[in-house]
Chains A and B, each alone.
Chain A
Amino acid sequence: SQTIHQWPATLVQPVGSPLSLECTVEGTSNPNLYWYRQAAGRGLQLLFYSVGIGQISSEVPQNLSASRPQDRQFILSSKKLLLSDSGFYLCAWSVQRGGPNTGELFFGEGSRLTVL
């Protein structure tokens, strides 16, 4: 069966420090991969979307970046965090065209980031 893991679960970082969140998917190949952010009490904001290795679509211009060095690995990074980067970060995957459960997003456990 397919599983998705992301880490770390919680982190507290000072303003201006770097960030790296990692997400891996097991049990499937060629997934679409996503990074979402959820500010406190708000809905989910799509940050990045990837259909394959090295293929990243950025939805929101900001100081965050994403990379997909392997088929089932998705990394969210920042060189210098801002206070506004605080939030709950969620990685997700979906099946590409033609697979079962097409259209369903499967989410990781989330990473809660507090920038002080």
Chain B
Amino acid sequence: LAKTTQPISMDSYEGQEVNITCSHNNIATNDYITWYQQFPSQGPRFIIQGYKTKVTNEVASLFIPADRKSSTLSLPRVSLSDTAVYYCLVGDPPFGKFYFGSGTKLNVKP
């Protein structure tokens, strides 16, 4: 029942900006887009959430085009500690059943 598609893995180097794109062609009108980060043997941690256009917080930006069929998580100047799996979810938060896709494994190299 996963509604999202992401690249399986990505490589980057310290100091670079990383953009991870998620496809959600069947997103519903009331759905929000949420991104999580997961380290091994830990529960996922909320990164950012948005509905349309651009959202920015202290750790990331989220870009959502007008048709909302995709979204891009942007991590500025990544470090080794950003090596993790990143998940994109879509859903209507107040009624949330949240389904995780396969996620994108980001490997940051020195």
On whether the beta carbons of B98 and A43 are closer than 8 Å, the reply is: no
On whether the beta carbons of A57 and B97 are closer than 8 Å, the reply is: yes
- Chain B contacts for A36, CB-based, 8 A: 100
- Chain A contacts for B2, CB-based, 8 A: 43
Whether B29 sits at the interface, judged by CB under 8 Å, is no
Interface SS of chain B = loop
The chain B residue with its CB closest to the CB of A107 is B43
On whether the beta carbons of B97 and A46 are closer than 8 Å, the reply is: yes
22 A-B interface contacts by CB (under 8 A): A42-B102, A43-B87, A43-B101, A43-B103, A44-B87, A46-B97, A46-B99, A46-B100, A57-B97, A90-B43, A97-B94, A97-B95, A102-B94, A103-B32, A103-B91, A103-B94, A103-B96, A104-B46, A105-B46, A105-B96, A106-B46, A112-B41
Query: Which B residues contact A (CB, under 8 angstroms)?
Result: 1-2, 32, 34, 36, 41-46, 49, 87, 91, 93-103
Since A49-B97, A103-B91 are in contact, a sample of 11 more A-B pairs with Cβ atoms closer than 8 Å, ordered by chain A residue number, is A32-B96, A34-B98, A43-B2, A43-B100, A44-B87, A59-B1, A88-B41, A90-B43, A103-B34, A103-B94, A104-B93
